[in-house]
Amino acid sequence: MGLGLALMLAACAADRPPPVEERASAYCPTPPVVPVNAQGLVLVPPILRSNTVDWESLYAYALEYSLASPRTLAGRAPQTARDLARLDLLGNSFERNQRFQTLAPEGTLMMRTGVWSMRQWLGVPADVSAAQLAGALLATECALWQGDRAAARAVLAKVASAPDALDRIAPADGRSPPPVPVEVAAAASIAAKAIRSHGVADGPFIRLGRLGF
């Protein structure tokens, strides 16, 4: 009976898909500067958007399957920093991109509230721009991929005054999910829905992209 059970378990294990190996983002260890135009709209560099034109939809779908459910980020500190940067950039676009001027008010409001809550959570002053915050978070991500918490803490401290800002993004035990504010998770959850309701067609790359980000 023991042998039969062992064989059955082995067969089940063989049927399971192999675990996805997560690697540092292509822009690490040195993320590019995020420029802004005269209207304060972020102009996301190609390497940060995987050379995709519709980076807002790409980010929104990715956030729907990560930051919207913070428990999925347990033990994934670099990805948490990355996704907070994406939320920050997406919030800027929702506010300033003409494409989203007719977005449903609740989508814009929830995104605005989520970004504001994230800033409060990390202790980010009002005079820190979206581009500056995103840049610091992406640099934090890259430092965390290298396992260098000291470097991550130093770069994050340039924009975030909360003394435990890094520990909030990357819990020290390396296993716990980040204690992301409810408003931040709600914004991550609503972004893709708001874009879909806005009438933006889903391209095949965007639909598949949600599985890999």
User: What are the sequence ranges of the domains in the chain?
Assistant: 56-209
Model confidence over 169-212: pLDDT tens digits?
Answer: 999 999 999 999 999 999 999 999 999 886 644 443 333 333 33
CA 106 from centroid of its chain's CA atoms: 21
Mean pLDDT of the chain: 86
**Is residue 85 classed exposed, middle or buried when 0-12, 13-18 and 19+ CB atoms within 10 A define those classes?**
buried
Model confidence over 66-109: pLDDT tens digits?
Answer: 999 999 999 999 999 999 999 999 999 999 999 998 888 888 99
Short-list 98, 107, 103, CA closest to 40: 98
Evaluate if residue 130 carries a pLDDT over 80.
yes
Determine the pLDDT at residue 141.
98
Evaluate if residue 143 carries a pLDDT over 60.
yes
Determine the pLDDT at residue 21.
54
Short-list 72, 64, 85, 103, CA closest to 189: 64
Strand partners, 42: 36
**Is residue 29 classed exposed, middle or buried when 0-12, 13-18 and 19+ CB atoms within 10 A define those classes?**
middle
Determine the pLDDT at residue 128.
98
Q: Which tokens belong to 77?
A: 């500190």
Determine the pLDDT at residue 106.
87
